[in-house]
A and B are shown apart, each in its own frame.
Chain A
């Protein structure tokens, strides 16, 4: 078994996989294509660092993952106050005591304990609702839940304090859940 990388076969072997990986995370074909190309070129620069401990695909994916996170970071940059965004807490809860407003209180969807993705419809709704999230929330949510990154690392990447991080996580979930409930008839 050879541990040497073989760049001449990269595109044929891995381009489609890497493209699917990027597309799943960024929902933008052009950005995904660019990242695949950049990944190959960045990998060429680091050929000497490939130790053969992981497979070539895992190694390339790790490089791509870093680039995806970079896109999340860029998308969510800007003024802190603007970035944290509107306050669904004000919309969803009574201002004086924090109680759910009737119109926004969670209702049972009937699928709470099932495999959501077994419902094709619900998977489509989730995708749609994720795309509607403001950029910063989307970045934070994706890094936390999908890339399964540590909180500290996310805070560092996108330059938010831990307390703002929890505010963002809370707001993103309130919005996402409300969006799903609204779309799920």
Chain B
């Protein structure tokens, strides 16, 4: 199998590069590999879109969950404040 064919087949490496590229710059060799692969592989292009979508969603999920307003038990809060007050006076 020729080098180009090998690159075109290798979705395992292409998906690795897709992940890496979202966080850092690729080497020239890696970039060439990915360009050649993605030009001919619609499945990995789809993987790339889904991967980005997941990253975006995960970030938002966190933000949303942070603002969700979970409430601590009142007794527990009193205990917490007591402990703080003890340290302040101690």
Q: Which of A48-56, A69-77, A78-86, A102-110 contacts B (4 or more CB under 8 A)?
A: A102-110
A21 at the interface (CB under 8 A from B): yes
User: Contacts A33-B72, A145-B59 hold; do A98 and B81 have CB atoms under 8 A apart?
Assistant: no
Contacts of B1 in A (CB 8 A): 97
B61 at the interface (CB under 8 A from A): yes
Closest A residue to B88 using CB positions: A7
Contact: A8 with B83, CB < 8 Å?
A: no
User: Contacts A11-B80, A117-B64 hold; do A20 and B58 have CB atoms under 8 A apart?
Assistant: no
Q: Which of A89-143 contact B (CB under 8 A)?
A: 89, 92-93, 97-100, 105-109, 111-113, 115-117, 122-123, 126-127, 130, 141
In the assembly, what is the distance between CA of A113 and CA of B46, in Å?
A: 11
Contacts of B29 in A (CB 8 A): none
Chain B interface, DSSP helix/strand/loop, else mixed: helix
Contact: A37 with B51, CB < 8 Å?
A: no
Q: How many A-B residue pairs have CB under 8 A?
A: 143
Contact: B51 with A123, CB < 8 Å?
A: no
Closest B residue to A123 using CB positions: B61
A4 at the interface (CB under 8 A from B): no
Partner of B9, one of A98, A107, A123, A126: A98
Closest A residue to B47 using CB positions: A106
User: Contacts A33-B72, A117-B64, A177-B47 hold; do A112 and B53 have CB atoms under 8 A apart?
Assistant: yes
Contact: B70 with A116, CB < 8 Å?
A: no
Contact: B66 with A21, CB < 8 Å?
A: yes
B36 at the interface (CB under 8 A from A): no
Q: Which of B54-78 contact A (CB under 8 A)?
A: 54-62, 64-72, 76-78
CB-defined A-B contacts under 8 Å, sample of 22? A15-B72, A15-B77, A21-B66, A36-B72, A40-B80, A40-B84, A41-B83, A98-B10, A98-B12, A106-B47, A112-B49, A112-B53, A116-B60, A123-B57, A126-B54, A145-B55, A146-B59, A169-B19, A169-B20, A170-B16, A173-B19, A177-B51
Identify the B interface with A (CB < 8 A): 1, 6, 9-13, 15-16, 19-20, 23-24, 43, 46-47, 49-51, 53-62, 64-72, 76-78, 80-81, 83-85, 87-88
